Amino acid sequence: MIIDPRPVLASVIDDVRTGTASGTIAARFHRGVADVIVAAALIVGADTGLATVGLSGGVFQNVTLTHAANEMLSDAGFEVLVHRLVPPNDGGLALGQAVIAAARR
């Protein structure tokens, strides 16, 4: 699957050029990225039958994006898994590495 960022970026550029308020631009950007996440999940779900999506990785430190994607995915019928106790970024990765290292001893 190839995700084309050009439509979202073009919208941001258009908004900047027309003097749209920065808060509005940011909200539209986050909504656009969440739309792409949902579209990708729908494609993968249709191909595989999977209905669970995990939102993980550094990008999901962004509370606005995580909330929007979570809500939109849930509305689309997906079960959404999000981090609660371990951070979605390198801290979570480091914890996983520590657990594996401890298990190998």
> Beta strands of the chain (E only): which ranges?
52-55, 79-82
Tokens of 9: 């970026």
Q: What mean pLDDT is predicted for residues 29-34?
A: 95
Q: Provide the residue ranges of all domains of the chain, joining segments of one domain with +.
A: 6-103
The b/e string for 3-27 (b: 16+ C-beta within 10 A; e otherwise) is eeeeebeebbeebeeeeeeeeebee
The answer, as to whether pTM is greater than 0.95, is no
Q: What is the pLDDT of residues 37-76, one digit of tens each?
A: 999 999 999 999 999 999 998 899 999 999 999 999 999 9
Q: Does domain 6-103 have CATH number 1.10.10.10?
A: no
Statement: residue 88 has pLDDT above 90: no
